[in-house]
Amino acid sequence: MEEKENLGQYKVGSLPTLFYVPDFITDSDQSLLLNNIYEAPASKWKMLKNRRLQNWGGVVHEKGLLPQVLPPWLTNLTQKIYDESALFPSPMNHVLINEYQPNQGIMPHQDGPAYFPVVAILSLGSPVVMDFTPHARFKQDSQDDIDKDSDLEIGKDKWLDDHHPFTVLLMPRSLLIFKDKAYSDYLHGIQDCMLHCYNGAVNETQALKHKESDGDFFNSEDALDTIGKEEYKNISRTANRVSLTCRLVPKVHKKLFRF
């Protein structure tokens, strides 16, 4: 399925299908979402080692989804993403909501095989930097090629050209969508620290238009770390971040499995 033509203006980085959409929702939309998230029963939260999360839409099993109906405040969002991206065959039926405190992140990971291979992440609250790193299996494939290649430098250069790490700066109310190589060939994660460097982020230009309105999250000019004439571009994570990871599970089981 081809993405809508207007989505092309949001492409960032060198990979073909990595999109960053600033201001995907309004301030009032963000407040409404956060109110619904924090008004959920305490039992809806699952505590993990470095964050807590809510699971909406049902239980994802290796054989598919044991579904639960999404509430209207989430179906409004998933329908909007479906309509405006045209990257999913149907509206998303599963949403994971993660809450990160300022010093919390998530280990580099890939989404499981039960999902349709497109992911949409809506960011709320504090900005954060997300790291994309090539999957180790591609480095091994490259090493195998190098072992067969009489010119080792050619093999190394090919590896660096084909798969290189990159970062994305995720501002409040923004939407990140990725598929294809960004989905299958890379791990994505967030560092467990309160200070994130966004220097060189593939969407730095698009995200920095928020700098004036969201300046509290950025170091002041005087507070920026410098070495000689080099400037390190940092954000201070002073508030919690909430992310909504919206995905489609194609296989839906209307009844519980029988063994």
CATH no., domain 5-247: 2.60.120.590
pTM for the structure as a whole:
0.84
pLDDT tens figures, 147-162: 445 454 544 455 455 6
Give the separation between CA 207 and CA 56, rounded to whole angstroms: 29
At 60-69, the pLDDT tens digits run: 987 889 999 9
The C-alpha angle with vertex 218 and arms to 85 and 227, in degrees rounded to 5, equals 120
Read off the pLDDT band of 211 (50, 70, 90).
Answer: low
pLDDT single digits (tens) 153-210: 544 455 455 678 999 999 999 999 999 989 989 999 999 999 999 999 999 999 987 6
Token digits for 188?
A: 């994505």
